[in-house]
Structure formats: C-alpha cells, structure tokens
Amino acid sequence: TDTFTIAIDGPAAAGKGTISKAIAAQFGFAHLDTGLLYRAVGARVLSGVEPVEAARTLQPQDLERDDLRTAEVAQAASKVAVIAEVRAALVDFQRAFARRAGGAVLDGRDIGTVICPNAEVKLYVTASAEVRAKRRFLELTGKGEVTSLETVLTDVKARDDRDMNRAEAPLKPATDALTIDTSELSIAQALKVALKEISALR
C-alpha cells in the first residue's frame, strides 16, 4: 500500500503543531502529535501512577484528558520523556501510525532521528526561545491560564534544556532535515516553505 511519512521535529511552541495540521489537511494525511503521548504519561504520573507503568498501560482515552495542554503537564511530560523505558513503550504505536496507508505526519522531538529515520520528508521547525515563549504565553492566557511571560520563558528554556541534553533521543535536527526558523516568519510563510519542500520530494 501507499505510505508516505513526514517527520516534523523542533522545540516547544515553534509552530510545529499548526504547520503539521495544515500539511496533513493539505495532503489528506493522518496526523499524530506525539507530544500528546508524553503529556498523557506525565498527567498519569501527576495522578500517582509510576512512569514506566503509565507508558506501558497508556489507553486511547488517556489522550482525551482536558488537562494535557497545561504548563504543569508539559513539565511533567518532559521529565518522563528522559526515561528510556518510557520512550521504548511508545515506539511501536508511533511507527505503526507512520506507516499507515495514505500517508502520515508525525510531529515531536525525535521523529526524524529515532522513530522514522527513513521518513520521506524531515523538517526541523524552530524559533528563538523569546519568540516561542511569547507565542506560548498568548496561547496559555488565551485559554484562561494565569501566568507571566517571564514564567513561560523560564519553562520553555527548562524544557529545551531537558529535551536537548538528555541521553535518550535528544532533540536535534536529523542530518537530512530541512530547518525552518519561524522567528521572523509568520506561520503562513513557514507553511509555504514546508509545502514547497514536500512537493519537491513527493
């Protein structure tokens, strides 16, 4: 059958989610936000479940919890994400999704490097920590969360540090990824660059 995998990696709040959804819609591909898996494990850990157990027994309904987008769960996610056994428990699900008939877009931190090293398209979407913190601040306050720009910047930097410097599947661009820096691009402009790359490889 016809499979086609697009791997999109990058740090928090760089615009990956929006770009991934738009790409998936454009080509009629399925989309998996892999951060949601780690967030769901993090949320279960905050509820008292042991991390490896939480990853191994993750259920579809765990991905439906409405607290997954909070700053607290984001930090918990990046803490469980350093544990090798937690990551290992989530590999098969992600790889099966990637090989779905009809094409798939997966976004996360290690899709192009570890989960789908043979993906047909690899993008690394990034932006300065300041620009990302500002975007995340607007997103969180828009949803009614009470926070400050300074707090969000500190959180973004702490998460970058954990994601980039962990031993297991650290966040970095795959050697064959196209990097798109969205610091001075609108999401629409970044999407245009991404679509051009995909069309060239498709």
Residues 99 and 30 sit within 8 Å (Cβ to Cβ): no
Return the number of the residue (81 or 104) whose C-beta is nearest ligand C5P: 81
Please give the order of strands across the beta sheet that includes 30-33.
30-33, 104-108, 5-9, 121-126, 178-181
Beta bridge pairs of residue 106? 7, 32
Return the number of the residue (68 or 194) whose C-beta is nearest ligand C5P: 68
55: exposed, middle or buried (C-beta count within 10 Å: 0-12, 13-18, 19+)? buried
Closest CA to 139 of 200, 196, 70, 76: 70
Q: Is residue 110 near ligand C5P by the rule CB under 6 A? A: yes
Q: Is residue 10 near ligand C5P by the rule CB under 6 A? A: no
Q: Is residue 24 near ligand C5P by the rule CB under 6 A? A: no
Residues 40 and 58 sit within 8 Å (Cβ to Cβ): yes
**Strands 30-33 and 104-108: what pairing?**
parallel
List the one residue from 31, 32, 39, 44 that touches ligand C5P (CB under 6 A): 39
Q: Is 15 annotated as a binding residue?
A: yes
User: Cβ–Cβ contacts within 10 Å for residue 35, how many?
Assistant: 21
Q: Is residue 7 near ligand C5P by the rule CB under 6 A? A: no
Q: Is 18 annotated as a binding residue?
A: yes
Q: Is residue 135 near ligand C5P by the rule CB under 6 A? A: no
Q: Is 74 annotated as a binding residue?
A: no
Q: Is residue 122 near ligand C5P by the rule CB under 6 A? A: no
Q: Is residue 74 near ligand C5P by the rule CB under 6 A? A: yes
CA distance 79 to 104: 27
Q: Is 14 annotated as a binding residue?
A: yes
Binding residues: 10-18
Binding residues for ATP: 10-18
Q: Which residues bind ligand C5P (CB under 6 A)?
A: 12, 34-35, 38-39, 74, 77-78, 81, 108-111, 159, 163
